[in-house]
Amino acid sequence: MSLFRVFDIAGSAMTAQSVRLNATASNLANAESATSSSGQPYRAKQVVFAATPLTASQPQAVGVQVATVSEDPSPARMVYDPKNPLADGNGYIAMPNVNVVEEMTNMISASRSYQTNADMMNTAKVLLQRTLQLGQA
């Protein structure tokens, strides 16, 4: 029954989008974390998706999974703040390379995708319910 696989597909997408939302939340929360447990400024985390066939025999059902959570390689934002104890010899302090605008658009995109996939599940549910009523009086 292929409609049941719509649940698997939409479910995998919702999981992946919530991982992305999680990464965005962590990036925004740490936008000002000049230091971390490693002593380095926080680096923005980006989630990369990959398409995965749900079953080998059914190539048309393709779900989503999180391939990697990579760290943004762009250089840290240098802020001039000589009074800060973390400042280097020139009075500059390395701040996380989190781009707040980018994170906000990422967040909107993730939440919209999440909504669409929830809608998709709803449609599949309605169709299945109607199919189950088939032949009844």
Partner 1 sequence: MLSSLNNYFAFNEAALKLRGTRQEVIASNIANADTPGYKARDFDFGQTLSNAMAAQRGASNEMGLARTDGRHLAGKPHSTLEVDLMYRNDVQPSIDGNTVDMNTEMRNFTDNAVRYQASLTFLQQRISGMRTALQSQ
* Residue 62: CB minimum distance to partner 1, A: 4
Q: Which is nearer to partner 1, 61 or 87 (CB)?
A: 61
Mention every residue, 6+ apart, whose C-beta is less than 8 A from residue 82.
91
Neighbour tally for 132: CB within 10 Å: 9
* Residue 82: CB minimum distance to partner 1, A: 40
Site residues (CB under 8 A) for partner 1?
1-3, 5-6, 9-10, 12-13, 17, 20, 48-51, 59-64, 109-110, 113, 116-117, 120, 123-124, 126-127, 130-131, 134-135
CA 90, chain centre distance (Å): 37
Mention every residue, 6+ apart, whose C-beta is less than 8 A from residue 18.
110, 114
CA angle 120, 57, 61 (to 5 degrees): 15
Q: Which is nearer to partner 1, 79 or 128 (CB)?
A: 128
* Residue 43: CB minimum distance to partner 1, A: 20
Q: Which is nearer to partner 1, 60 or 90 (CB)?
A: 60
User: Quick check: helix, strand or coil at residue 51?
Assistant: strand
